[in-house]
A and B are shown apart, each in its own frame.
Chain A
Amino acid sequence: MSKARASLTRTSLVHLALISYAIISVFPVFLTLINSMKDRNAIFRNPMQLPSPKTFDLVGYYTVLGQGDFATYFQNSFIVTVAAIALVLLFGAMAAFALSEYRFRGNTLMGLYLAIGIMIPIRLGTVAILQGMVATGLVNTLTALILVYTAQGIPLAVFILSEFMRTVSDDLKNAGRIDGLSEYSIFFRLVLPLVRPAMATVAVFTMIPIWNDLWFPLILAPSEATKTVTLGSQIFIGQFVTNWNAVLAALSLAIFPVLVLYLVFSRQLIRGITSGAVK
């Protein structure tokens, strides 16, 4: 206990820093949330003020939900994000396992090749991707988005997961081989459960850019049936007039699904971040 008391100042400084960072991070979200529940005048006159009985107004939400297609947009975003995460995790983990477990010619080169994807933005290839999608008839389908996002997420996934997989004990995998487990069983039953925290980390890092992306939905899938939430919200932003109530309401609504996904992964994620510290 004496040790804890001695570093009290240090602890409080650390907490002060963390709390200020948390406030700075949460503030824009907070602002979006409170303003989404105010009337238009109040948003502009007193953006910092909490909604009062006089200024409280859910007109933004009525507009967004009354738009009718918003449920579809949400569904599209959700399908695209979940499917892309699943594919990124599956293929990323398999590639990472192969790179970290097997010695084969070109192993290092292959690892570098996959890692280069982290540094080169996929958007540079937009034109070629669009041509490809047109040629394969995938324009205006969710499949197009899922494919692009999977490609976008895999490099980082391979990079992070192969580092983690190197730490899984060779003896354990060898014990599995002697007990007659196939390489697939070793991967799915022994290795994956042990790198679960890393998988959660990758899932969160993959999820957020996909959910927020405007670029590829706009280019590859702008049709009414395949619009995502981010793209759907754009109809309220006009060149001359912007329906701020609706934009803020749409953004507020868009936060919730990510929040749910995040909570699903967060327990694992925290274990992933602190795994070095406690083990």
Chain B
Amino acid sequence: MGSLQLKSVRKSFGNVDVIKGIDLDVKDGEFVIFVGPSGCGKSTLLRIIAGLEDATSGSITIDGAEVVTVPPAKRGIAMVFQSYALYPHLTVKDNMGLGLKQAGAPKEEIEKRVAKASAMLSLEKYLSRRPAELSGGQRQRVAIGRAIVREPKLFLFDEPLSNLDAALRVNTRLEIARLHRDLKATMIYVTHDQVEAMTLADKIVVLDAGVIQQVGSPMELYNKPANLFVAGFIGSPAMNFIEASRVGVADAKTIGVRPEHLALSRDGGEWQGKVVHVEHLGADTIVYIESEKVGLFTVRLFGEHHYAVDDVVYATPAAGQTHRFDADGRAIR
């Protein structure tokens, strides 16, 4: 239980095409993340899966059953929203239980499931409070609890962490990862943050402008990006792109090297340049270098390194770690 297929799903608002033909297979128990820049149609796609928005064309099947004409409540899904979307006039307990109550579940069953979910999320103390009396992190946990109580085939998360502060975001991320392990449920999670995507996903779907750019495991996307967009989007700091002609590579238009795959030396190497800025992050040192040969590029060094602005340095790409792209931006393998 809990598989999902999308077949050439399209969505237009008026004459603006937002989703331009999405095909996707999600297996039971998978944690799939849609990642992409703001406005690329991630939320719209999620809302189409939930049934909150009608697809203009295409088919959606959950567990092998076509659901295009099925209302959201009957699709066996639960959704967690960025803005929490808790019912302001209901207590935490009633917020979590409303879906089951509407579905006509017996009272004891609701009690039992709410108790279980609130224990999982350490919400027992707050069951009789209203959303206004909770902190942001607690509200988001209630929203997650409300989804768990429904025991859905498919969990849908729409940027659930983006309203939380940094520390809470890490905690809640861990909590969601733990939930996925415990519940073994299928989860679809939308974010614009590639770190969230890399840390949580079994499978990442990179979207841009309503089109899937690449589907793969986090390491596949990192090691074998299919095109320039994915190469630049996954990884931080972003990959360095250099015109192939400037470094004498004939069979490609652009080459890409990740900042962590460049070695730096004061004595000699392939690309000579001058340091323009240095960022010390403790575990990492990020060095920005302006080079006559290849332009501005970034180097990520592990640990502390003492380079100063205007130092002359040499960078050398690690063997086998350069990516080549053709004139259309596709990776050459």
Contacts and interface: CB of A to CB of B under 8 A. Distances in A.
Interface of A: 169, 171-172, 174-181, 189-190, 193-194
Nearest to A190: B87
Contacts of A194: 88
B102 A175 contact: no
B78 A178 contact: yes
B258 to A, nearest CB: 37
5 contacts: A169-B85, A171-B85, A174-B72, A180-B102, A189-B89
Q: How large is the interface on B (under 10, 10 to 19, 20 to 34, 35 or more residues)?
A: 20 to 34
A174 B71 contact: no
A180 B99 contact: yes
B138 interface: no
A110 to B, nearest CB: 18
Contacts of B291: none
Contacts of B88: 193-194
Max chain B Cβ within 10 angstroms of own Cβ: one of A171, A178, A193: A178
Nearest to A182: B102
Max chain B Cβ within 10 angstroms of own Cβ: one of A179, A180, A181, A193: A179
Contacts of B77: 178
Nearest to B90: A189
A174 B79 contact: yes
A155 to B, nearest CB: 28
Nearest to A193: B89
Given A179-B99, A179-B102, A180-B102, A174 B47 contact: yes
Interface string B238-264: 000000000000000000000000000
B81 A174 contact: yes
A180 B73 contact: yes
A174 B47 CA distance: 9
B102 A177 contact: no
B277 to A, nearest CB: 40
Contacts of A179: 73, 98-99, 102, 146, 150
B82 A171 contact: yes
B103 A175 contact: no
Nearest to B81: A171
Contacts of B52: 174, 177-178
Contacts of A172: 83, 85, 87
Interface string B85-103: 1111100000000110011
Contacts of A189: 89
Nearest to B78: A178
Contacts of A171: 81-85
A36 to B, nearest CB: 45
B89 A175 contact: no
Given A174-B47, A177-B71, A190-B87, 11 more contacts: A169-B83, A174-B85, A175-B86, A176-B87, A177-B52, A178-B50, A178-B52, A178-B72, A179-B73, A180-B102, A181-B73
Contacts of B87: 172, 175-176, 190
Contact of A177 (B72, B83, B84): B72
A8 B98 CA distance: 51
A181 B89 contact: no
Interface string B28-59: 00000000000000000001001010000000
Contacts of B82: 171
A181 B102 CA distance: 7
